[in-house]
Amino acid sequence: MKNFGRIIICGRISQMNSTSAPAGLKNMAHVLVKRLTIKGFLIFDHENDNEPFETDMRNWISEGKIKFKETIYENIENAPKAFIDLLNGKNLGKMLVKI
């Protein structure tokens, strides 16, 4: 991290079925010396921003300013495999099942 860097922590799905405690920061001194900010992010803190966000995002995607990747499984019978692969981190971007 660079000095005055910001670290956002969002999501825990990779930890949901973990049988051991996740690794923590290896050197807290870097947070102090580099004057880092670490902040948790929950979508519930931004519910009032939903409508303007959706409008902006829709425009940015249609203009090609935002690009995204998806992992798509075909057919409903592949939904269990898609879910297991999602939990195992085998997806790139959003995991979808196309019915």
Q: Where are the domains of the chain?
A: 1-67, 69-99
CATH topology of domain 1-67: Rossmann fold (3.40.50)
Taking alpha carbons only, the member of 69, 72, 67, 73 closest to residue 93 is 69
Task: For residue 69, give both structure tokens.
Answer: 């990747």
Q: What's the chain's Rg over C-alpha atoms?
A: 18
**pLDDT over 70, % of the chain:** 100
pTM of the model: 0.50
pLDDT, the chain, mean: 91
At position 96, the amino acid (one-letter code) is L
Please compute the mean of the pLDDT values over residues 38-47 and round it to a whole number: 89
